[in-house]
Structure 1
Amino acid sequence: MTLQPLIFYASLFILSALVLKAIKHSRRLPPSPWALPIVGHLHLLGPSLHHSFHKLSTRYGPLMSIRIGSVLGVVTSSPDVTKELLKTNDVTFAARNSSAAIECLTYNSSFAFAPNGPYWQFMKKLTTVELLGSRTLLQFLPIRTNELHELIRFLFEKSKSGGSVNITDELLKFTNNIISQMMLSIRCSGKGGQAEECRTLAREVTEIFGEFNISDVIWVFKSFDIQGFRRRFKDIHRRFDSLLENIITNREKLRKEKKESEEKVKDLLDILLDVLENQNSEIKLTRDHIKALFLDFLTAGTDTSSMTVEWALAELINHPMVLQKAQQEIDQVVGRNRLVQESDVPHLPYIQVIIKESFRIHPPIPLLNRRALEDCKIGNYIIPKGTLLFVNLWSMGRDPETWKNPLEFQPERFLSESNSEIDVRGLHYRLLPFGTGRRGCPGLSLAMQELPTTLAAMIQCFNFKVTSPDGVVDMSERPGLSSPRAQDLVCVPVARCAPSIVN
C-alpha cells in the first residue's frame, strides 16, 4: 500500500472526528437560530440589542445561544436561569466583556471592566466604603439638597412665564452637578467650564460604548477601522485625558499649599490622591487608574440616574390618576409648605413603588453583560469559557409569566402581597436594575436616595403640560448602551404649590 492513500484516510479520519466533535459541542449549546458564515446572527440583530434578543427569545426560549460575528454569546430572559447563572455561578461570570473603545478610553485600567482580582477587590472596597458609604453619602447630603433646590427654583421661574423646559437636559445637568461635585468639587453651570466639558465627554463615551463596532466581533476586520471608531474614540480619549490631567495637576498644587489645619469633606479625587501618595497602600495606584475611575463614575452616575427620573415622570404624565395618587401621598406626609427631602422617602411607599415600576418597564441598562471565565453547565447545556452572557432585563420586565399585564404601568403591583417584598438590591431576580452579586452597581445606595426624592419634589411642586398636540408623551426608545427615550421630554411646568425654598 502506498503512502498517499494512508495520508488520505488519516486526514479523512481526523476531519471526521473534528466535525463530530463540533456537532456534539454545538448540540450542548442552548437553542439557536441558523447562523451565517463569518457574520453569525448579525443579520437578525437591530440597533437595539435588547429588542432583537426579546424577539428571538419568544421563539428559541428563555436561554438561547447567539453568534455575534466571531463571538459566541448566550442570552437569558428568565429570572430562574439568571439566578442560576449570576448567583450559583457568580464566580464563573464575574468578568465583563471589553472592546477596543473600552480599553482605550479607560486606559485599560477600568474598575468597572477589570477582572475579579486584587485591583478590582481593592477598588470595590474603596468606592463602596470611602466614596459611597453611608458616612460619605451623609456628608454629601447638602450638595444633593442644594442641587435639588436649584432645579425646583429654575422650574418655578419657567412656570411664571409659561415657558417650556427641556426636562431631559435639566435632569442631566442636575445629576451631573451632583456627581461632579462628589468627584471633583466642580459644578456644571450650563455655560461652559470643566464640569460642562465632563458632561459632554461622558455623553460621547456612553454613546460610543453602546454603538456596534464590526472590528470587535468579526476577527478578519480586527485590524481595520472600517467605521471610523478608532479615530473617534482616540479623539475622545485625547480630550478627556487633557481635561483630567489639568484637574489633577491643579488639585495636587492646592494640596501642597493647603494648611494641615484646614478641613473639608474629601471628594473622590482627594481620596484617590491620598491612596496614590500612600507608600504603604496594598495596591499601588497610578494616574491612569484615577482617570479610569472618573470615567467609570461619570458614565455610570449621570445618564442612568437622570434617565430613570425622566422615564418615571413621563409615565406619570401619561397616567394622571397615578400622578394624582402620588401627589396626595406627598401632601399628606410632607404638606405643601416645605420641599420633600430624603428623610421623607421611607414614609412615601407609593413614590417608592413608582420608582420600582419604572425600573421594571424601563431598566436604565437593559442588558446585563458578563463573560464566562470557565466552562459552565446549565441544565443540559454547556456554556464554554469565554462566552458572553446577556441578561435581558428589558425582556424580563415584559414577561407575562413573571408579571401580570406586563406592558401596563401599574405601580400598585408592588403593593400586592406577592410582590411587596421585591426590592432592587439584587436579591430578587425578577428586578435587577443595579445588577446582582459581586458585579452589582456600587452606586445603588446613592441612587435610591436621590431618585425618589427628585421625582417626589418635582411632582409635589408641579404638574407638567406636554407640548405635543395630543398631550401624550411619546414612550419610544433610542438605541444605545442604556435605554434613553427617543425624544427629549419637553414640558411646561405648572406650579401646584410653592414651598419655602422659592419664597
Structure 2
Amino acid sequence: MASFLPSTLSTDQQRLLLTAIAFVVSAFIFLIPKLSKSKGLNLPPGPPGWPVVGNLFQVAGSGKPFFQFVRDIVPIYGPILTLKMGTRTMIIISSPELAHEALIQKGQVFATRPRENPTRKVFSENKFTVNSAVYGPVWRSLRRNMVQNMLSTSRLKEFRGVRDSAVNRMIDRIRSEAESNQGVVSVLKHARFAVFCILVSMSFGKEMDGDDIERIDQMMKTVLITLDPRIDDYLPILAPFFSKQRKRAMQVREEQLNTLIPYIEARRKALRNGLGSDKTAVSFSYLDTLFDLKIEGRKSAPTDGELVTLCSEFLNGGTDTTATALEWAIARLIEKPEIQSRLYEEIKSTVGDRKVDEKDVEKMAYLSAVTKELLRKHPPTYFSLTHAVTEPATLGGYDVPTDANVEIFLSEIAEDPKAWSDPKEFNPDRFMSGNEDADMTGVKEVKMIPFGAGRRICPGLSMASLHIDLMLARMVQEFQWRALPSQKMSDFSEKLEFTVVMDPALQAVITARK
C-alpha cells in the first residue's frame, strides 16, 4: 500500500513527537548537507513545515485521516504538491494529466519503489515481491511469472471449479446468517471469506476447510496490522523508542512462517507423490510456478521464506480489494433499487432459472457497467502503491528527486469534473451510452485507474474484475437487498482498514428470490 499515516495519534505517539523536538538541533546538524542539496530543487508547492519533522505536526495534529488532509489542501496547492514527512518527501499527484505523464509517458522512469521501512522489509524478504521489488531483473522475473503462469486467461479458467465452490459457500453462509438473524446479514465478512477461499486454493493448490481458512486469514490480518506505519518510519531518529514493536514484528514474521510453511511442504509432497490421491487437491497452484523459478541474476530458486512472502502477497493483494468492492456494490444497489432491479432483469434474461456461470457474466453489459462505475467511485485504496523514480526527473514542470515517494491520489482522479459528467453521481448508464468510457489501464488517457497504470499496474486486474462480476451477479440473483432501517445510506462514510471500507460496516436485509 501507499505510505499512510494513522488518522490520529495516541498519547504515547504524541509524547514521542515531542521527544523528537529534543533531537531537532542535533539532527539538523547532520541534515544540513541534504537540506542544502534539496534547496536547489524546484519541488511542487506545499504547506510550509518545521525543520526535520516537516509537515508531520500538521498532518498528525489535524485530527483527520491522511487522505482527507490531502483532499483539503489540493485546492490550495494544486494537482501536484509536496509534503515533507520527516525524512521522507511525498509528491502527491491528483490530476489525470499528470498521472498519465508519470505512469505512461515517463513510465520507465517512474516504475520503481521507494525505500522500505525496516519492519516492512522483514515481511517482504527485502523487497522480494512483485509489488515491492525495485524496477529491475528481480521484479521482471517475479511479475512475468505471475502474469504469464498464474493470471493469464487460460490459467484463470483452470480455477473455475474453485470459484464455483467458494461462491456457493458464500451464498449458503449468507442464507444461514439471514435465517438466524431475522434476515439481516453482514456483507463484507461473507464476501471476504469467499474471495479468501479462492485465493488460498490458488496459492497452495488445495481446497481447505473453514478452520484452515480462518487460521490463515487471521495470520494475514495480524501481518497487515503489524505493517501499519509508525512515526519512526518518518523519523528514524526515534527508532530506539520502538524496540518492542520491532521485536513484535519479528515474532509475527516467525508465526507467519510457522503457519504457512507446512502448506508449502504439503504441496511439495503432493507434487512428488501425485495429486490423484488427494480429493481436495487442485491441479495447479501459484506455488507450482515458484518452486523452481529462475530469477534473473540469481542462481538459486526462492527460499521457503520467500515463498511465504510471495504467497502472502497474492493473498493480501486480492482479498480485501475485491471484498470491499462488493460491500460498496451492495450498498449502491440498496441506495438505488432501480439499478438493482435492472441488473436482476439482465441476469434473468441471460440465464433464466439456472445459476449464473462466469461465462454468462461476459454477456452482461449492464453488469459490466455497474462494476466499472463501482471501481470509479470506490477504488480499493485512496492512493496507488507508492512510486519512485529511477533517476532525477521532472513532472508538470517540477523536479522529482530519487528519494521522493510519488503518490497517485486515485479517488480525486476518478472524480475529476473535466473527465466525467456529474462525477459525484453513481451512474452506470454513463458506460452504456457510449459517451464515456472506462479504460482502467490508462494507456490512452487516465480517467480512472483503480489498479494503477503503466508498468506497475496491478497484475490481478482481470482476476479481480472476474471475481467482482461473478460474485455480484450471484448475490443479486439469489437475494433482494434492502437497507437495514437503523443504518443510514445517504452519506456513505468511509475509513481505511487495509482498503477503503464503509463506516460503519454494511448490514443489509435480504429476501430470497423465488
Superposition TM-score tier, normalisation by shorter sequence: 0.7 to 0.9
Question: 1:330 corresponds to which residue?
Answer: 347
The question of whether the paired residues in 2 share the 8 Å contact of 1:466 and 1:472 is answered with: yes
The answer as to 2:372 corresponding to 1:356 is yes
The answer as to 2:192 corresponding to 1:176 is no
The answer as to 2:293 corresponding to 1:275 is yes
Q: For residues 463 and 36 of structure 2, what CA distance do their matches in structure 1 show? A: 53
SS of aligned partner of 1:483: strand
What is the TM-score when the length of structure 2 is the normalising length?
Answer: 0.85
Q: For residues 37 and 451 of structure 2, what CA distance do their matches in structure 1 show? A: 39
Q: Which residue among 153, 158, 162 is the counterpart of 1:143?
A: 162
Deviation (angstroms), 1:441: 1.0
Deviation (angstroms), 1:59: 1.0
The answer as to 2:119 corresponding to 1:101 is yes
Alignment of 1:16-415 (within 5 A): 23-25=39-41, 28-45=42-59, 48-97=65-114, 98-108=116-126, 109-159=128-178, 162-187=182-207, 189-190=209-210, 192-193=211-212, 195-209=213-227, 211-225=228-242, 229-258=245-274, 265-275=283-293, 284-335=301-352, 337-368=353-384, 369-415=386-432
SS of aligned partner of 1:464: strand
Deviates more, 1:408-417 or 1:438-447: 408-417
What is the TM-score when the length of structure 1 is the normalising length?
Answer: 0.87
Q: For residues 331 and 471 of structure 1, what CA distance do their matches in structure 2 show? A: 30
The question of whether the paired residues in 1 share the 8 Å contact of 2:52 and 2:87 is answered with: yes
Alignment of 1:470-481 (within 5 A): 472=489, 475-481=492-498
Question: 2:465 corresponds to which residue?
Answer: 448
Deviation (angstroms), 1:332: 2.0
Deviation (angstroms), 1:235: 2.7
The one-letter code of the counterpart of 1:104 is V
C-alpha distance after superposition, 1:42-97 (max 9, x if no partner): 23325632222111111110011111111111101101000111112212211223
The question of whether the paired residues in 2 share the 8 Å contact of 1:466 and 1:473 is answered with: no
The question of whether the paired residues in 1 share the 8 Å contact of 2:414 and 2:449 is answered with: no
The one-letter code of the counterpart of 1:146 is S
In structure 1, list runs of 5 or more residues that go unmatched: 1-15, 498-503
SS of aligned partner of 1:389: strand
The question of whether the paired residues in 1 share the 8 Å contact of 2:275 and 2:283 is answered with: no
Q: For residues 18 and 250 of structure 1, what CA distance do their matches in structure 2 show? A: 51
Q: For residues 149 and 132 of structure 2, what CA distance do their matches in structure 1 show? A: 20
Higher alpha-carbon Rg: 1
Deviates more, 1:296-305 or 1:422-431: 422-431
Q: For residues 309 and 100 of structure 2, what CA distance do their matches in structure 1 show? A: 30
Instruction: Report how many aligned residue pairs link the two structures.
Output: 473
Go from structure 1 to structure 2 and tell me whether the alpha carbon gap of 1:271 and 1:47 turns closer, same or farther (over 3 Å shift).
farther
The question of whether the paired residues in 2 share the 8 Å contact of 1:465 and 1:471 is answered with: no
Deviation (angstroms), 1:111: 2.5
The one-letter code of the counterpart of 2:55 is H
The question of whether the paired residues in 2 share the 8 Å contact of 1:40 and 1:67 is answered with: yes
The one-letter code of the counterpart of 1:364 is P
CA RMSD across the alignment: 2.8
Go from structure 1 to structure 2 and tell me whether the alpha carbon gap of 1:129 and 1:343 turns closer, same or farther (over 3 Å shift).
same
Go from structure 1 to structure 2 and tell me whether the alpha carbon gap of 1:37 and 1:464 turns closer, same or farther (over 3 Å shift).
same
Question: 2:22 corresponds to which residue?
Answer: none
The one-letter code of the counterpart of 2:263 is I
The question of whether the paired residues in 1 share the 8 Å contact of 2:170 and 2:193 is answered with: no
Deviation (angstroms), 1:329: 1.8
The one-letter code of the counterpart of 2:285 is D
In structure 2, list runs of 5 or more residues that go unmatched: 1-31
SS of aligned partner of 1:95: coil
Deviation (angstroms), 1:128: 0.8
Question: 1:501 corresponds to which residue?
Answer: none
SS of aligned partner of 1:382: strand
Go from structure 1 to structure 2 and tell me whether the alpha carbon gap of 1:473 and 1:234 turns closer, same or farther (over 3 Å shift).
farther
Deviates more, 1:148-157 or 1:346-355: 148-157
The one-letter code of the counterpart of 1:86 is L
